[in-house]
Structure 1
């Protein structure tokens, strides 16, 4: 199995020179190597069928496709998007790019070969007072709609195609970062700034907040920031930076309940993902990636990686890489 790793470049708080490859040697050891140079590929997404990677070039206001073969080569030039692209999701035949810097959500058509076309933007939420729009994620849902998350204005929006269907505001200053659909009609939204899991349920064709669970364990003089959320069977797992822990939650009739927590095993867990039943955690400040059993925390591998901020493996289902 091969993992592809994105990270931040030198000069932008990181030491990554591009897209990295984590793979096993003939001797059975896991190693990291640079696979393709790229400017701050801080988020990676794989095409659901083709050997193509998509990278958000966060500092360059662009995204780029890469064809994976014996090597990793650009599939067309970088495509301009909004300021600070931080997340890319494949939704049908298009790439939805969330831009932290200016709040835009840009939709790029994907060609038959996996290449990216020119971006068109969804309507941007207007800034007000001292708050500005900061788009942070798009998530395709099982009912055929797409959720977009705005961390700056604490707003969730649902879309059918590119037509907005519903808008819902969370608590001001909560900072929704990512979301996961644990079952049809049940969403768990992770708020980075208030460090909570907000559970939403769908009644008929409208979503509503059903439950809010606070997380974190800040030490005196420190603050926690929630960073990643995934669903794993009957559990929901959350990474929190600051205390650097993984929290395990159990769905209840009206939300989720905390069942336990453990050390993340890395410093500043920036990324959390599931693949083949294993939990993947990227430690941005400890320059390492850890793969472990999601229930026990037993490590399957640990490998040194410069400033990892996202991981993906080609052929994984979209539901496995939502955080």
Structure 2
């Protein structure tokens, strides 16, 4: 049943970073398929970083926020344009229409593309429901009622989601911007790293960094600005004030742990540079095993790192 998979995700776990920051961590088995979120709350305002591409999950988050928030939700921040960080903002905007969406200037410039992506995702959900109905006849008769009930629920959700819209951002950031949530300040910074339009957030006097996918331990380089990304990671590694890093996927990190993604990205660019003319297949086979070793110790890491490596090599080959 194709459509039901994205509806069955477990809820995120809430982890307290400090009095102002809550880390909404995606469950481990989904860490490469869906994103973390971060809730920051001051005395006057709250800000949410990223929204899952699983709309049912975002609706659960809305219910949690209604119980937890002590102040208005004033801002929504998409760290970049990928579906699992941006598209769920349509759900948040429906329930919090006064919250201002903040994105990188490059994301803002191309926002009609992502609005179309939101519509396309709903269209794909609808096609998936139709296919699942067609396949009901192949399921044992005693199991059909429960699957039919699930599909009816899926139809109701899709009908509801059709009312949502991904509305244009109100704030676009080209360099940096500081916000005061009421006795608690944070600074949003624009980068070209994981994509050409990343936002990171620095708080607590520079000791806490909310870095999105730019600081993932296993980084996806398929859309990356690889050279500037490496420079950014080096900057963070050498920042003595920085003590806690919240990535877009996986658990919290420290500065030393960023050496692994830096090694991975650097090895990709160097491997392509030193083996010009080789096919991607040959580059994969000759890629240094020592770089990949930390990613082979867990099945999901291994599976994802193989895909990410290939995507990174293609990106490096196509980058002038």
TM-score (norm 1): 0.27
Q: Which has the larger radius of gyration?
A: 2
Greater RCO, CA 8 A, separation 6+: 2
Greater helix percent: which structure?
Answer: 2
TM-score (norm 2): 0.27
